[in-house]
Structure 1
Amino acid sequence: MTEREGEQRPSVTAGGVPEAQDGAPGEVSGPAEEGAQEEATISEGSTAPDAGQHRVTMVDVGRFAVSAITVVAALVGLVLGIRAELHAGREEQRAEKAEGLAKDTREKVYANLVDFYREGSVVHVVNGNSRAIAMRLTLRESKVHWDLDLVKPCKAILIPNGSLLESMAAKEPSVKLTEDDLAQLRLEFMDPNHNAWGLISGGGLTKTESWKPSGRPNVVSVEEWNVRPEDSPQCDNS
């Protein structure tokens, strides 16, 4: 090797890395350096903000709160509306019921003062009204009845079973009745408003089909049980 060739050949360090001619180590790009650059790039990419990510701001929170309040208010209004409708419906039902009761009371103003019951072998008929009431006793199964005509105001009549049987035998000889049949007696009467009512012994007031009273001119019939009527235990003197 000539002297010139030795001068041009770059010197090599102990590690085998060539030195620059000016004495500074040469910059050599190797695999380690490239890996470091890639790591730096990845690190920078991970810390950079994502352009598509939405940040929740106070404005968003405020909008959500307003929406929630609106929904809650709508639900509360709906519930209150339903409750108001239910309350109105109940009030209407109560009003209708009260009106029905008042109407029923007005309709029964005369009927509630009439009484009929059997005591032993005697039938009691009571007119507690201040007006005469047309009445009759019926046996529906036998299809017979006894006209009591107009029972005087504030009076009660007592009819022995024997008198009823004798009266029917005189009017309808073909009808054979016993005292046991009289257990089914029913009182029917017509109030001054021309409403027809029926009573079983001891109560049980019901509306019944209208019937035509005898229309006889006498206030009471000629039957013996109407000769000496008693005073009614109760009477409407209004």
Structure 2
Amino acid sequence: MFAVRAALAERYQAMADVGAGCGPRQGEVFGPAEDAIDVDGRTLHVVRQIKHVEGHPVFALPKGGKTRDVPLPDYVAESLRAHMDAFKPVEITLPWDTPEGPKVSFLLIFTAEQGGMVWRSNFNGKEWKPALAAAGLIPEAVDENGKYESAREHGMHALRHFYASALLDAGENIKAVSEYMGHADPGLTLRVYSHPMPDSRERARRAIDSVFQRIFGEDHGPQTAQ
């Protein structure tokens, strides 16, 4: 994840921090405005996304029609502050929910180099996948049209997987993780995102050792106690 972040253009690196540090979906990463960040409350308000309906971008509620509040880590808050100092939020106007919906405007935190909204297809093909290739995670070869291989596992969703896996590995409550990710069913979170992280085995050993040591003492085994 950190290698991919480093390979992204500077204006998109904070997007990786938000994705990996707060777990929103890609459309939700593209959609936050200034009012989404509550630094004092250390909270990210996930209240909208940019989605595409019949090829047209629109603002809409997050998937499932539910907004949510997600803990905002200090590192991500600082990354967002630095990003907004370097790249000022831009007012973007789009229809709400459908191409025929009423026009609404928000000062978006993340915008493209030309100053407009970040288009998913452009970002994936010209920013995200080249960063994956630079990090050595996918082949650098492209087809005759200059496109990378299409694969679901090569998408920005990997940042969301990083977030959920890291929280679960750290012992966070599955119900809380599910809430932060906007899942209706905690079982889905556990099935899709839970897998052993590289340090999990050692942490498991230390956790059990600590219990035994409290009972039997630091220098005495269970045989001595018996």
Compute the TM-score of the two structures, normalised by the length of structure 2.
Answer: 0.20
Question: Over alpha carbons, which structure has the higher Rg?
Answer: 1
Compute the TM-score of the two structures, normalised by the length of structure 1.
Answer: 0.19
Per residue, is there more strand in 1 or in 2?
1
Per residue, is there more helix in 1 or in 2?
2
